[in-house]
Amino acid sequence: MPYHPVQLFDDADAPWLAKLDDTAEASVGQPWRVLLDRLEALPLVTSASRTARAIASLRHVLGARPRVTPSARVVRELVLGHPVLDAEARADRLAAAAARLGLTADALEARLWSDLARERAVVMPERPSIRRIAAAANAEQLARALARARHVRLRVWGDPRELVRIAAARGLLATASPDAGESTTLDITGPLALFHATTVYGRALGSLVPWLAGLDRFELEIRCDLGRGEGILRVAPPLLLPPAPAPQRREHAPDVRLARDLAAAGCDVTRDPPPIIAGDRLLFPDLCVDGWWLEVIHFATAEYLADRFARYRMAGIRRIIVCLRSPAVDDPRTPAADLPPGVLPFQRAIDAGKLRELISRSSRSPDG
């Protein structure tokens, strides 16, 4: 399989990115179409695709819409009507509408189509740094590759639990394997390997990119198809990315709320128990409740669920319950009644009472 080099932005791109920034600053207050025309007229110092990514990132960084009062819709209601056939009649109509709204004719005309992307005024509350534009472009490029991935392999050093939790919360099909050193490898199914919800899943996978900035050491390998046939992208630090998000507040996470409800009901609850080694895999249960292991999964294929239960049995654990967000199987037509035993469907919150009933029934069964 061919290896596709990743042309990410770095400090060597600073000179020509500065020209983009200068042009944007000189275009503040003008419609975006004016800035885009000026950027297109700049000498091409890199590939057209990289230039387009940089311009898209500049637009994303500047992105905020200016507050326009009155709105374009109100202006159009006053100005538009039967066609005018000469410049004098047009000017008279603009002047009359401007006087009614307390604006100059030029200011009124600038607002006429200001709700369209190319007609919206360029705003720059503060000049963005070159590194910020480059980081945004890199993040977008990696997210695009992940959205077109068949398989992703992420090797991380240190404690992987938080990254595993983030992947699970986004409904990603991820398995963790311990490496010989102090690293862990996460294998994540890509959207091109699924049959349903590929667009939503691709966005969820792309949302992992900002968290890479918080890792001191990692190796990312993406098997994807970006229109040139399937190939492999490899990425490792150092690279420019936007700052990592703040640690997630988890007090409203399904497993945290469930732990509170179970503890209030008198159950013996352990949050975030130690990882379980199952052959060549690591399992990260979310809770241990009265001797039962619980894992919360937000999306699954039938094969992924079967493998999960098999891995727990391989580790000698049969008291396992998977709390699965519903509908969350790869085929949305799969009813809850067809889910395997040991799976408790939930929507927004996990019902502690239903969980205790399932534990009670399972404890009385021959396999419990």
- Three-class DSSP category at 114: coil
Q: Looking at the structure, do residues 80 and 127 belong to the same domain, yes or no?
A: no
pLDDT in tens, 290-303: 999 999 998 888 88
Which residues fall within 8 angstroms of residue 163, CB to CB, at 6 or more apart? 154, 156, 186, 211, 215
> Last residue of a domain, which of 202, 235, 268?
235
145 lies in a domain? no
Between CA 185 and CA 188 the distance in angstroms is 10
Q: Looking at the structure, do residues 258 and 301 belong to the same domain, yes or no?
A: yes
CATH number of the domain where residue 187 is located: 3.30.70.260
DSSP 298-320: S-B-HHHHHHHHHHHHHTT---E
Between CA 188 and CA 267 the distance in angstroms is 34
Residue among 33, 34, 21 nearest 62 (CA): 21
Low-confidence ranges of the chain (pLDDT < 50): 329-330, 332-337
Q: Looking at the structure, do residues 282 and 322 belong to the same domain, yes or no?
A: yes
Tell me 329's DSSP state: B
CA dihedral 153, 158, 160, 161 (to 10 degrees): 180
DSSP 124-151: -SSPPPHHHHHHHHHHHHHHHHHHTEEE
92 lies in a domain? yes
Q: Looking at the structure, do residues 60 and 78 belong to the same domain, yes or no?
A: no
162 lies in a domain? yes
Kindly report the backbone phi and psi dihedral angles of residue 350, in degrees, each rounded to the nearest multiple of 5, phi listed first.
Answer: -90, 125
Number of domains making up the chain = 4
Domain limits at 54? 11-66+119-134
Q: Looking at the structure, do residues 304 and 217 belong to the same domain, yes or no?
A: no
Between CA 207 and CA 163 the distance in angstroms is 12
Phi-psi region of 175 (alpha: psi -120 to 50; beta: other; left: phi over 0): beta
244 lies in a domain? no
Q: What per-residue confidence (pLDDT) applies to 367?
A: 59
Q: Looking at the structure, do residues 129 and 24 belong to the same domain, yes or no?
A: yes
Whole-angstrom distance between the N-terminal and C-terminal Cα of the chain? Answer: 46
Q: What per-residue confidence (pLDDT) applies to 119?
A: 76
CA Rg value for the chain: 27
pLDDT in tens, 246-290: 777 677 888 999 999 999 999 999 999 999 999 899 999 999 999
Q: Looking at the structure, do residues 198 and 86 belong to the same domain, yes or no?
A: no
Q: Looking at the structure, do residues 191 and 269 belong to the same domain, yes or no?
A: no
Q: What per-residue confidence (pLDDT) applies to 333?
A: 42
Centroid of chain to Cα 358: 34
> Which is it for the CA torsion 299, 304, 309, 312, positive or negative?
negative
Q: What per-residue confidence (pLDDT) applies to 335?
A: 45
Q: What per-residue confidence (pLDDT) applies to 198?
A: 81
Q: What per-residue confidence (pLDDT) applies to 332?
A: 47
Between CA 120 and CA 103 the distance in angstroms is 18
Between CA 367 and CA 364 the distance in angstroms is 8
Q: What per-residue confidence (pLDDT) applies to 73?
A: 64
